[in-house]
Amino acid sequence: MNLLFMDWGCFGKDGTIKAMEELGHTVYKFSHEDYNLRNSQAFLDAFYEFVEKHNIDFCFSYNYFPVLAIGCHEKNLKYISFLYDSPYVMLYSFTLMYPTNYVFLFDQAEYIKLRQGGLTNIYYMVLPADTEHIKALLDRPYDKERVSCDISFMGQLYNEEHNFLDRVTAAGDEYLNGYLRGIMESQKKISGCNFIEEMLTPDILKRMYDAYPYNPDPSSVEPKTYTYAKYFVDRKITSEERIHILSEIGKHFPQRCKLFTWNQNSTIEGVNNMGIAEYFNEMPLVFRHSKINLNISLRSIYTGIPLRCMDIMANGGFLLSNYQSDLAQAFIAGEDYDYYEDVDDLMQKIDYYLTHEKERKEIAENGYQKVLSLHNYKICFTEIFRICGIH
């Protein structure tokens, strides 16, 4: 069958296209500057022309794009989307209800919530990973000293000046600020369950709106609790957690941890800020050559396995993560990866795995083999196409 692949610089493109072609489909890459708009006649005109020219049978994209959903609905084409970002506000576009949509989520909690809301075209799927790409990278020249370390963390710190929650608290509502601080500190003590949305009562939402108004797009059914919880509060919690954890690592294991992040000016004592590691060419090498790869999940990912975790294991790295229930279901803690319960437990586990090399390497190999055999692109998309009735 002829497949339109939305080409927008997404992760996993090459491995996905290869798997789709091996499954017998002809893949045509389609790109347009308006892909991320909720509606665009220019996009639709180009899309309709492309569909006719290549006799497209169905469409696919990583993440969900309402304008593509509109085009597929108009042409009665199946539109398969696979989200790897969270939060993702486009998920609340009214277009999600189109019967031509097949939307796959990596966060089981989000999947259950939308299913319970009556959406039957939503599915849960563990993100796939590419175990072949690292082999090619290892055969090329690379800076081994830069990518090698005892402990690494790759991700954003979300510590940009005047972030969304800071704009709320800057308004000076003492009751609101105290309430938010209270629920944030409570949430930090709990892994595997997120209660922030439930704690944003109508009164608190009104106070947050008065402090910093946010209005959803008219074409969206997104509840305000979703945006204020995930983009404002969860993001701030994540920032504070990541900085606190890295600071503790810097104290307990000075100069043994490397941080790879967009903000090259962030300074954490005892931690080496290495700046950006390019996703396709350097990131896999970091995962491979770090003795311990940390995952500190974005708090808006309630139960899902972040792409970072899959990439770490796919590249033969040892994964040490906070607790995520989907991760615990798909992999075995202490055998394929390990998790920490709190900061003290993390420090103990870092010390343990740095001094138990054989066990650490065996766990990394087990995680790699499980991704290789159960969560590669071909297996994943075989199941996705079966669900969608595509042969």
Task: Provide the CATH number for the domain around residue 59.
Answer: 3.40.50.2000
Clarify whether residues 68 and 177 are in a common domain.
no
pLDDT at residue 161, rounded to an integer: 74
Clarify whether residues 365 and 383 are in a common domain.
no
Clarify whether residues 96 and 208 are in a common domain.
no
Clarify whether residues 250 and 317 are in a common domain.
yes
Q: What is the pLDDT along the chain (391 residues), one digit of tens a residue?
A: 999 999 999 999 999 999 999 999 999 999 999 999 999 999 999 999 999 999 999 999 999 999 999 999 999 999 999 999 999 999 999 999 999 999 999 999 999 999 999 999 999 999 999 998 998 999 999 999 999 999 999 999 998 777 899 999 999 999 999 999 999 999 999 988 999 999 999 999 999 999 999 998 888 999 999 999 999 999 999 999 999 999 999 999 999 999 999 988 899 999 999 999 999 999 999 999 999 999 999 999 999 999 999 999 999 999 999 999 999 999 999 999 999 999 999 999 999 999 999 999 999 999 999 999 999 999 999 999 999 999 8
Clarify whether residues 272 and 288 are in a common domain.
yes
Clarify whether residues 188 and 91 are in a common domain.
no
- Number of structural domains, the chain? 2
Clarify whether residues 307 and 351 are in a common domain.
yes
Clarify whether residues 150 and 121 are in a common domain.
no
Clarify whether residues 79 and 222 are in a common domain.
no
Clarify whether residues 112 and 143 are in a common domain.
no
pLDDT at residue 160, rounded to an integer: 79
Which tens digit of pLDDT belongs to each residue from 257-268?
999 999 888 999
Enclosing domain of residue 303: 133-374
Clarify whether residues 300 and 261 are in a common domain.
yes
- 314, two tokens: 């796919």
pLDDT at residue 118, rounded to an integer: 94
Clarify whether residues 72 and 143 are in a common domain.
no
